[in-house]
């Protein structure tokens, strides 16, 4: 167990990007996909969280974990077969649950790089910055 009050250790505080990526990773565990769980956190310019999202199906729909997605049940290779996928991506869900004003000049933290479709949604929503973990640490991507 981690003790947060141990005064014998040097206090290391994460930067904003690492902090919000950590929150996106926590959000991702709610994901409903058998292939990959993704989390997203939309953060306003004042460093306040506007919305979160994870990849999943609409409320009341039988999701991947319940055997509802043909793509997850198939042996299609990664990156293909999206026409059979019933999930909404984490980025799209975060944007759907945010107010338009909160998206303007915001930063979207995602646990993986956004797909081409989500990049279009992000750009159209007015998000100014996208941050996701890359092979060599955090990569900042202007939508």
Tell me the catalytic residues: 91
Instruction: Give the tokens for residue 94.
Output: 């975060």
C-beta separation of 12 from 61 below 8 A: no
* 8 Å CB contact between 121 and 108: no
Q: How far apart are CA 52 and CA 91, in angstroms?
A: 8
Q: CA 81, CA 70: separation in Å to the nearest integer?
A: 9
Q: What angle do CA 16, 92, 62 make, to 5 degrees?
A: 120
């Amino acid at each position: 167990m981690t003790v947060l009050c141990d005064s014998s250790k040097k206090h290391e505080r994460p930067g904003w990007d690492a902090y919000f990526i950590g929150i996106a990773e926590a959000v991702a565990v709610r994901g409903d996909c058998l292939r990959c769980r993704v989390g997203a956190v939309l953060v306003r310019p004042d460093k306040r969280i506007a919305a979160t999202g994870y990849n999943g199906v609409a409320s009341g729909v039988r999701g991947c974990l319940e055997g509802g997605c043909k793509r997850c049940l198939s042996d299609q290779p990664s990156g293909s077969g999206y026409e059979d996928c019933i999930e909404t991506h984490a980025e799209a869900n975060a944007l759907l649950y945010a107010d338009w004003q909160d998206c303007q000049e915001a930063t979207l933290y995602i646990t993986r790089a956004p797909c081409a479709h989500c990049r279009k949604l992000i750009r159209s929503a007015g998000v100014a910055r996208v941050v996701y973990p890359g092979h060599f640490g955090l990569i900042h991507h202007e939508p």
